[in-house]
Structure 1
């Protein structure tokens, strides 16, 4: 009894002490914020000298000054909190962005914190301590804020945005030695900082001295020049200086991982169209099956108009355009409005065939969207004359427009105000009668045709016989333009209005009719509305080329598991033999036994086709996953050198491509993310940009190196696309890299169309076509077979590159690429005409001016638009 009472008192005292310490620390941090940087350290064994702190800060590129307040803000046991003034500044030129596709914007009171860590001097002692700390007592850094950027070397630096309350928790974890980074790194200091510039890529531009840490600079890494060619460089970059004074990025990256589905930076494609797991032409904003470039359709003539049972209306066959649907919602509250309209459209059209993007007002004249859009949805009543010219240009080029009470309507048709805004109408449309829907203020005058030569038809009327919907068509030679204008606001939900319960119920009763009508309108505009439910993410199945490899992998990560869970950022992995486990929030089960979720992947076919010694010998297979690119993030530095990790997906729901492009990933597309290690001081380590070229060539070789398939017309388009001939894209590549202890850890994301004929073309389509033409019976490919063969080729090409250098690889690459000696324009202020000469030593595109000056163009966001003989430079 006495022991129990003593135990309770002890717990009470500990709880009281912890609360008191937290309150005192919270008050000290609140007091110190805004008075320079807060510097938090552990005294005693973990204490750090002032000179050591200065050395660490300088090595992390912090503008460190030794103006430390004389009296610390707080001393409590082994913890000391001090002010360092002024606020310390980190220049982000040599830092690398974290990839967090769904990060929340920082809160008003959030602070930026520099966490510095290093490899423990006594790893055994460190690991022993890690095991002794109960899992429930560990404080995981990545659960307390948003990882913004990292800096390799000693010390290892991480920038985190977090709340002041989370900063208190970090400080407690530091002093209690319970703060963990999951990567055998020991935290030794915490400091609040401010940042300048922009974190970017991994490899230093040799022309820039980062020690100068310029406060304002433009991104010079997007176009690199040979050392003796500065005059031309100045001309080409002149237009960038004015636009990018606030951006600093002294390093390059294969990938700019944006997190939005905006139009982002359009990857204009060449005179070749394209195909990536789902595809596109001219260069849409879309990236598909394979990821990297934009997916494309082969350009085809606009299809003929067919009669439709809907009276005077006409049903148009699908266009041969990229499967991009753009939504324009004006200037005010546009993001919220876009999300609302997108949600409605996703319930009607085939989400596996189309990608929906936000056309922002500022992008109308800046981004080349007109030739890359299959449908433009206008959902704002505001009239912005500066946008109407572009919308008219799109319409006249054969575009399809769907307007919901749009201010653009008056460019095509007269209208009259009859009611106040957002009133309830009873619509009669086709076979639907008296459907209660939300309407705008106007009705149309079908006799007041504003565009000469156009045909206007009434397709929907209200109970007072006012025209509420009209269809405007314009036929000119081989071009058919079509716009459906609607004052019935089919994009609005019942709960978008502050209505009475009676009206709300009335609108809800008509909701199914609303979607049926919208679906019919989209169909008559040539949009495929065979909707499919979005598949649910499934667990991963751990497979390997042998049981020994599988056991070795698991043994290498056991020390990091807590109750079977490996925590890392937003994605935690649960290694389990429970085949009934399901995905919950950010916890992804990895099934160690059983094939409940892996039946569609043939391990035997994969193993038979895999000739690599290391790469791809350990497989995470997933039936459905948002994206394969993040699954391996928490494992890269933990597995031994003879374990080659690969993630293979049957289907992706939120695939990511280069520059933030969306990436359609249907069943039948080969999709994988592969981990490779490259010594930084090796041939390839000094030119890591070549990894994307190696992977692209590996995909081509996986087919063309097979007996009977040597003449398959597969080609390469810079920077990272796989083509059939000159017009159809079959795949693409995306690479993100991290450096740790002199090793470049790269995750290669690759996807290419193998057995998915829609929406464009696949490799098996080509095989079937040749079989019919030549009377042959060549077997079709499987995704497992070509993924394994591609991984084998990647390992072989890397080995050859390391042994023989860049010249040997370039000879093989040029044999398959599409650009040699092509004369193109370099899109800049002066639109210089240049000739493509090849790849430079870093893997950048090498072009030459008429005057003989050579220019190297980095692949990060820059691309070919061969339909216009143009190299499009990414706007920074």
Structure 2
């Protein structure tokens, strides 16, 4: 019986993956695009080109999106659509070429797909054979070094085909391995092979296919296929002989590519993959068209377009810009696909704010794409006619709408961890969210437009063009011992290998600092080149190799023996982007390899990074005295004494200590005289049952708390990893956790949540039975946070609103808080863990409630008192209990929606819906929420429902689009 649920689960997972894969294909195929799946055989003499050589325009193809790239598989999209003229192909009628049926069970055939197969059958050992007719309707074929077959199919079957292709070896009739699958556009009609010179060959092939399996001889059959294909070629009077993948003696079709205007969206790598749910959006800035032209003056100035002449993309180890047509070289293999030069000025509007002093205005807010799943058509809950007026776009100067991100990437785990630790010591982490990202995430590009800085160490691979575009759009880069240097400054390629060499260098006030050098010591090439002037310590240089941009290059420091540049600064004089390149391992503590002698060098290292980040890159940095490790603090159990003991005594005692595991956190309940087993840390929290905290007023909190259960038992700590950790295991209905600061706060979708001093951070457990109101709990939490403020007399005029599904906003522009919910089942009970954070008295990283109150008092002559964290938390708990209680009563859900609509931002909003099946957005109007809390949008084609979870949203951009 066990196998049945396992099989069902595996089937469900596979179906879900295919559906996700289908969504990616729909995105890839939108517009003038082709998709290719390629297998790279082991020890192959030649790796497949980007597009099939059977197409008439393969040399005009350039990479658009790269979904996967390994030594064995390539999955990518390319522009423009690849074309195949099939007049010199043979029709697939009457079973040719493999004996497949003329009839296919597949309907709605709207996608033309090219299959290229090896001509040598696979030694099949249990491998599933996939027949042609099961994939679609065979149309035409051609035989040479490979067997090529055109099949008409639909997107559903193409999704299954592609999923199976990348999952293992893909074998069709007669055990032929498929090495390429590519969508194409057809022209012409295949040859019916009806001439006298062809009939006998066609008859021989059909006779061969009718032979019994034990008598069928594939080599003979393959020879007949090649011969007939050659005759058709000659009879069709082909002007060129097309070389198949892997052949060596045929002529290559040379078709001059047509002149084409390419937008930036065509050129950039844009997979649409989100880094996270809410804190890192998947932004699509206003796209500036980039035209491939030789006459810049043809563009009108008012169009504000960037002209790029002769864009070149070459993927290989050392890049030399060439003034030629756009092309892509994939023949070097994965190991050498380390850099890519993309000479464009991209649409990225990176967050490049922050002088070292606190700024009152933030970066321009990028437009973001709202990702969701259009799922079902239902009636929406009508919004209340008594709703307060919609919040309108404010003309006030904006502060940061969300905290900017700093991305960290390295191909080495040790370097990554060292780099993250160094940045956390120096950057003001109350203003930035630090994300360690994977290679896939960096290459996907979902971070574009939301990164105050990207810090990399080591090889960046295929992310190099994105990082270059980030720089050229005004972004900030920190590259430590990285091959990114070759992409930004291609002529820094003369290198010596000095493994584990310790060098001395001087920078600013730090003299003769000893640190480990990069294994490669790069200097500017001595070769003369008009686009590069060699920089020295005292003389900056210029690099003009990126069209439309001039880079100012300055050597900040050189090692003292060989004068190899240790620190380089590259500044884009066009848009102000700055990159710092270090050939010294600045991320590593010299004490690790110099011992006690390295302590002085480590102080210098931190000082150098501090100066680079603060003075050169313009980010907010800590004062030197603040650059200390996080000190976790003990916890305190607050609440009714009897109820506290009931919970504590239910925890089993082991060796005299009551230790309870709550997810990632171990909590030790310490009674009078009991000592903690270990000091507080990210995974251990000693909680004192009979003591009170110094920095949290229990009197003010409980005096304002009117609930019966919610928030009546609370674990408080000045500094803990996350309040969600402390409530991730079953405690009691209404039990909660409060932190003055969180070291590892978490937002929706796994996002890091900044928790600075002055932010109210709480997590609560809500125990419920399965009911219709269960999906609405996350919305109830958002409503409770708003009502904790606006339900008070005289505070109702503060423009605090709900942005669906879980954000708290001031007006329409500034996020001041948010919620996250998770759920677990224990028997028939569901305990929901609700985390909420709201800025109360911290002016950074965005704005806070007390700043809003102060400004309101100035503008309206009022004297509203400021709100303390304790008072807000108490009112939030009280409101949440009231809302959940009446939601569970008869008619309570209707009452909840009526109140919810009073405070949300979106009633009657005009937005655009981009479904999975269409590439053009459709206009719609937000109507409300359905019973599950999903967004209901009215369009000309009817009502569609949009799911909140697992997607990114920016309702202010006016676009709803499916995530892949």
Q: Report TM bin, short chain.
A: 0.5 to 0.7
Residue 467 of structure 2 corresponds to residue 404 of structure 1? no
User: Superposed, which structure 2 residues align to 1:343-742 within 5 Å?
Assistant: 343-380=421-458, 382=459, 384=461, 386-413=462-489, 414-417=491-494, 419-422=496-499, 423-440=501-518, 441-444=521-524, 445-446=534-535, 447=541, 449=543, 450-451=545-546, 452-463=549-560, 464-476=562-574, 479-494=575-590, 507=598, 509-524=600-615, 525-530=617-622, 531-544=626-639, 546-551=640-645, 553-554=647-648, 557=650, 563-568=656-661, 571-578=665-672, 581-582=675-676, 584=678, 588-595=685-692, 598-636=693-731, 639=732, 644-680=734-770, 685-742=771-828
Partners in 2 of 1:718 and 1:760 — Cα distance?
A: 19
Residue 898 of structure 2 corresponds to residue 811 of structure 1? yes
C-alpha deviation, 1:771, in angstroms: 1.7
From 828, 846, 853, the counterpart of 1:760: 846
Residues 468-510 of structure 1 show CA distances to partners (whole Å, capped at 9, x for unaligned) of 322222244xx5211122223312444777xxxxx66665542
Name the SS of the counterpart of 1:419 in structure 2.
strand
Q: Are the equivalent residues in 2 in contact too, given 1:271–1:867 (CA < 8 A)?
A: no
Partners in 1 of 2:349 and 2:868 — Cα distance?
A: 29
Partners in 2 of 1:653 and 1:757 — Cα distance?
A: 19
Name the SS of the counterpart of 2:931 in structure 1.
coil
The residue that corresponds to 1:177 in the other structure is none
* TM-score, normalisation: structure 2: 0.55
The residue that corresponds to 1:824 in the other structure is 912
From 303, 318, 328, the counterpart of 2:409: 328
Name the SS of the counterpart of 1:842 in structure 2.
coil
Unaligned runs of 5+ in 1: 1-53, 65-87, 96-233, 248-261, 274-280, 285-295, 303-317, 498-502
Provide closer, same or farther for how the CA distance between residues 587 and 654 of structure 1 changes in structure 2, counting only shifts above 3 A.
closer
Unaligned runs of 5+ in 2: 14-153, 168-273, 286-347, 352-358, 366-398, 525-533, 536-540
Partners in 1 of 2:451 and 2:712 — Cα distance?
A: 41
User: Superposed, which structure 2 residues align to 1:764-775 within 5 Å?
Assistant: 764-775=850-861
C-alpha deviation, 1:420, in angstroms: 2.0
The residue that corresponds to 1:300 in the other structure is 363
Name the SS of the counterpart of 2:619 in structure 1.
coil
Provide closer, same or farther for how the CA distance between residues 246 and 337 of structure 1 changes in structure 2, counting only shifts above 3 A.
same
C-alpha deviation, 1:754, in angstroms: 0.7
C-alpha deviation, 1:352, in angstroms: 3.6
Name the SS of the counterpart of 1:443 in structure 2.
strand
Provide closer, same or farther for how the CA distance between residues 267 and 547 of structure 1 changes in structure 2, counting only shifts above 3 A.
closer
Q: Are the equivalent residues in 1 in contact too, given 2:542–2:553 (CA < 8 A)?
A: no
The 10-residue stretch of structure 1 (508-517 or 669-678) with the greater mean CA deviation from structure 2: 508-517
Provide closer, same or farther for how the CA distance between residues 547 and 358 of structure 1 changes in structure 2, counting only shifts above 3 A.
closer
C-alpha deviation, 1:829, in angstroms: 6.1
What number of residue pairs does the alignment pair up?
582
Provide closer, same or farther for how the CA distance between residues 507 and 602 of structure 1 changes in structure 2, counting only shifts above 3 A.
closer
C-alpha deviation, 1:799, in angstroms: 2.0
C-alpha deviation, 1:786, in angstroms: 0.6
Q: Are the equivalent residues in 2 in contact too, given 1:377–1:402 (CA < 8 A)?
A: yes
Residues 238-283 of structure 1 show CA distances to partners (whole Å, capped at 9, x for unaligned) of 9899679999xxxxxxxxxxxxxx945565559999xxxxxxx999
Name the SS of the counterpart of 1:689 in structure 2.
helix
Name the SS of the counterpart of 1:606 in structure 2.
helix
Partners in 1 of 2:279 and 2:160 — Cα distance?
A: 18
Name the SS of the counterpart of 1:792 in structure 2.
helix
RMSD: 3.8
The residue that corresponds to 2:9 in the other structure is 91
Partners in 2 of 1:560 and 1:236 — Cα distance?
A: 57
Higher gyration radius (CA): 2
Q: Are the equivalent residues in 2 in contact too, given 1:538–1:622 (CA < 8 A)?
A: yes
Q: Are the equivalent residues in 2 in contact too, given 1:443–1:487 (CA < 8 A)?
A: no
Higher relative contact order (CA 8 A, sep 6+): 1
Q: Are the equivalent residues in 2 in contact too, given 1:282–1:865 (CA < 8 A)?
A: no
C-alpha deviation, 1:353, in angstroms: 3.3
Name the SS of the counterpart of 1:686 in structure 2.
coil
Q: Are the equivalent residues in 1 in contact too, given 2:283–2:449 (CA < 8 A)?
A: no
Provide closer, same or farther for how the CA distance between residues 340 and 353 of structure 1 changes in structure 2, counting only shifts above 3 A.
same
C-alpha deviation, 1:691, in angstroms: 0.6
C-alpha deviation, 1:710, in angstroms: 0.9
The residue that corresponds to 1:157 in the other structure is none
Provide closer, same or farther for how the CA distance between residues 662 and 542 of structure 1 changes in structure 2, counting only shifts above 3 A.
same
Provide closer, same or farther for how the CA distance between residues 714 and 393 of structure 1 changes in structure 2, counting only shifts above 3 A.
same
From 852, 860, 864, the counterpart of 2:953: 864
The residue that corresponds to 1:743 in the other structure is 829
Q: Are the equivalent residues in 1 in contact too, given 2:635–2:688 (CA < 8 A)?
A: yes
The 10-residue stretch of structure 1 (459-468 or 609-618) with the greater mean CA deviation from structure 2: 459-468
Partners in 1 of 2:440 and 2:155 — Cα distance?
A: 26
Partners in 1 of 2:871 and 2:637 — Cα distance?
A: 18
The residue that corresponds to 2:209 in the other structure is none
Provide closer, same or farther for how the CA distance between residues 416 and 365 of structure 1 changes in structure 2, counting only shifts above 3 A.
closer
Name the SS of the counterpart of 2:714 in structure 1.
strand
Partners in 1 of 2:160 and 2:609 — Cα distance?
A: 43
Partners in 1 of 2:703 and 2:349 — Cα distance?
A: 38
C-alpha deviation, 1:657, in angstroms: 1.8
* TM-score, normalisation: structure 1: 0.60
